[in-house]
Structure 1
């Protein structure tokens, strides 16, 4: 089960927290210019910008930028917000209507360790939080749930003792969590600045993704199934 922070402290589970200079703003919009099953990850100097399909012409936007700027955007009237949004999106993507209220919040890199203690198990954001670049935080949470469900099924079938479940869960999840936290942090640092020495590296990475279908498929596998379960195309 997911453990709330007070329970985590009571169990004496360590918690590492490192805030980012950026924050994130989330909002749902009606959008033209993108397919209903097409997602976008825009790398902008102020931070990554994700455009995630929800079905039809509805999309979830996750806008990363310095938190004070996002808090100013959050307070804008809908028409003014849509104008600011149009300036941030590529020309082909046209936001027409807000479907909910924009919300800005701080972002941090967090990891609780160990993932279990005295029969308590940390799942999802009780165990880890990452920058939302690429939507990897949500994917990581779902993989936590999938492993826990699988182990619970083994307990129910008599193939695993209930007292062994917490330790087995922690052993199976720590590497995936560590790799995703490192990868998302590296992406944010690589693409959220204008350091001249990093520009050629960024251009090379994007060019390789654009020209190599196998590399795109490999990246999608790592994002969906986790870096520990890569499926080679």
Structure 2
């Protein structure tokens, strides 16, 4: 029976594992390689690493970090952060990543998605789009860590990215990020009914019920989360966690 992939998203800033709320209030979590070791033991489906400091500093995510992850990880992993050239993608894939995640470059230069997918194949190219709803309920895509707004219809742009060869779309709700009060199901459903490529939902998970709601009330190929997999309890104590095989079976039945 089909079940969506359950994917921890690990945010990197200056080589350290951190977590954000609404793309702000960065909280130090720990060492990313230690987190990988724990997720190995917990048998996570896959991991996504996003370096939020790379694009700010006009750098690419550290190749040394990717290599260390590649040597340690027992699961597939994707990598994003400051990627802007075919050469950078080559180096990242050679260090062990299964996919790269394009963010700001996809918004600034959409045709780079086609260039990358033509070169590496669409299955190697994932595009993460950060989306925010305004006070009138209108959705817009933002980039550069939520600072710049893309002045076009968000659904039209997502479909353009699909047509350019992206193999997967990750949609992240900026307002739900780190809040642990559930996913934006309205947004997920508006996007999922238009796409024919895999969709991953990100932003808002605080409980297993939030995963179940996405599974029951929408259709996605992956359910991703940050806070849910690195924090525990009302006070957000740092605790790397992942549901057991039985818990996942119960969740998606």
TM over 0.5: no
Higher relative contact order (CA 8 A, sep 6+): 1
Q: TM-score, normalised by structure 1?
A: 0.22
Which has the greater radius of gyration? 1
Q: TM-score, normalised by structure 2?
A: 0.21
Q: Which has the higher helix share?
A: 1
